[in-house]
Amino acid sequence: MAGSNQRENTLKILKGGNVVQKNTVDSLLNRAIKFRKSRYVDEKLEMFKRKFAPVNTSGSNNNNSTPTTAEDNAALPGVDANGFESPAKTLFTKDKLNPAWTTIRPVGSGLQNLGKGLALNAVLQVFTYTPALANYMLEQRHGPNCSVSGYCFVCALEDHVRQCLVAAEGTVAPREFVGKLKSKI
């Protein structure tokens, strides 16, 4: 059957007739694609989209993006005013954290490489030079109220940040942290 269709098309072309081939590159690239709206609605995505407005609009109003108010989000359980899930537990309230440096300090102490602690040193540098965390650690709010018996990472981090930023002499050996690493080798 396929052979007879091909012969008919060939004869039609030879006689000057046009044969329309359905799956040519031109027909595929030039055809209109019809989209339909999805039936699935993702509530979190919709709230996220409502938070932002297009910058380069040509004056046309988009009815799909209506501004969201805090009351709209408050109606949903477990969602904050920005449309994100509320945390299960708040570790530090916003009034206790200062996101900027409180004083101008010289560059703190460097860290000695104690064997396999290179990745540890990188993490400690991030902890030490993140302003909000460093300010909190320098205020020493945790240490006096700590109820952990034995080793407490936050107490050790408070001591480390104070040693690096306040004392700031030479290099610091992070032995208190390296001794607590478990060897996987």
Let me know if residue 8 belongs to a domain. Answer: no
Residues 6+ apart with CB under 8 A from 9: 19
Question: What are the φ/ψ torsions at residue 48 (nearest 5 degrees)?
Answer: -65, -45
Q: 108: domain range?
A: 96-178
Residue 153 included in any domain = yes
Burial tier of 28 (Cβ tally within 10 Å: 0-12, 13-18, 19+):
exposed
| Helices 118-128 + 131-139 axis angle, to 10 | 80
Looking at the domain assignment, is residue 10 inside a domain?
Answer: no
pTM (2 decimals)? 0.51
Q: Is residue 107 part of a domain?
A: yes
| pLDDT higher than 90, residue 17 | no
In a domain, 36, yes or no: no
Element (H, E) at 156: helix 153-162
Q: Establish if 79 belongs to a structural domain.
A: no
What is the rounded average pLDDT of the residues 65-71?
A: 51
The number of distinct structural domains making up the chain is: 1
**Proportion of the chain above pLDDT 70, given as a percent:** 76
pLDDT score at 1: 56
Task: State which H helix or E strand residue 111 sits in.
Answer: strand 110-111
**What pLDDT band is residue 157 in, cutting at 50, 70 and 90?**
very high
